[in-house]
Amino acid sequence: MTDFRPQFLQFALAHDVLRFGEFVTKAGRRSPYFFNAGLFFDGASLGRLGEFYAQALLESGVDCDQLFGPAYKGIPLATSTSIALAARGHNLPYVFNRKEAKDHGEGGSLVGAPIRGRVMIVDDVITAGTSVRESVALIRANGAQPAGVLIALDRMERGQGEASAVQEVRDSFGIPVIAIATLDDVMAFIGGRPELAAHAQAVTDYRARYGVN
């Protein structure tokens, strides 16, 4: 792992965003860990989160012209990432959508920069891929091209079939998915911290049962 991945996981653990125990996922699976980016809810943590997103994007080498934050979680994520990128000398515009189009004022369903060029979608995780599909359709409808998807965590587990939601996005749209950290990173993180050793076997078993390569 490069240095920022365990730093990100430690940051998530400190803010109770990454938890270990027993949880039930939307798919009804009993998971030994849980990740909820919605708990980064103050200025300091959101600012630091944006720095991790920016670092993951820059280290990926994937080029883009602007950021798109799908409503609702993607809005603060794209905003904080845009600020962090600007601080690193990459001043990219950003745009987000409304769930319902506004019929007064400036109107429409988009807020921010006009959608142009290669657009990076910024979100927290990919579960069913619905948000990505909607985002890709919106970007293409505006004459632009999706450059990829930037997320916080890739759970690396199967969806309805043998592929993961991330793999399905890559295969369906032919775009890269960049994650700050993956389940493999989580397992390495646990392995290096004695205080988390009690959870190691449960995560290993979960990976073996539901994981993908």
Per the annotation, the verdict on 15 as an active-site residue is: no
Residue 101, pLDDT score: 63
Residue 181, pLDDT score: 97
Ranges 8-22, 32-46, 91-105, 108-122: which has the least confidence: 91-105
Question: How far apart, in whole angstroms, are the C-alpha atoms of residue 2 and residue 209?
Answer: 27
Confidence of residue 129 (pLDDT cuts 50, 70, 90): confident
Q: Which residues pair with 210 in a beta bridge?
A: none
With residue 58 as reference, give the H or E element that holds it: helix 43-60
Ranges 26-30, 59-63, 139-143: which has the least confidence: 26-30
Give me the domain span that covers residue 193: 4-210
**Span 107-120, average pLDDT:** 90
Q: In the predicted model, what is the mean pLDDT of the chain?
A: 93
Single-letter residue type at 118: R
Q: What DSSP state is assigned to residue 88?
A: T
Single-letter residue type at 184: D
Q: What is the CATH number of the domain that holds 37?
A: 3.40.50.2020
Confidence of residue 107 (pLDDT cuts 50, 70, 90): very low
- Residue 160 clears pLDDT 80, i.e. is over it: no
CA 178 to mean position of chain CA atoms? 8
**Count of structural domains, the chain:** 1
- Residue 65 clears pLDDT 50, i.e. is over it: yes
Residue 2, pLDDT score: 62
Residue 159, pLDDT score: 79
- Residue 106 clears pLDDT 80, i.e. is over it: no
Question: Is 62:148 a contact under the CB 8 Å cutoff?
Answer: yes
Per the annotation, the verdict on 102 as an active-site residue is: yes
Catalytic member of 73, 99, 102, 199:
102
Question: How far apart, in whole angstroms, are the C-alpha atoms of residue 53 and residue 122?
Answer: 9
Residue 31 tokens, joined: 């998971």
Residue 102, pLDDT score: 55
Single-letter residue type at 50: G
Catalytic member of 15, 90, 99, 104:
104
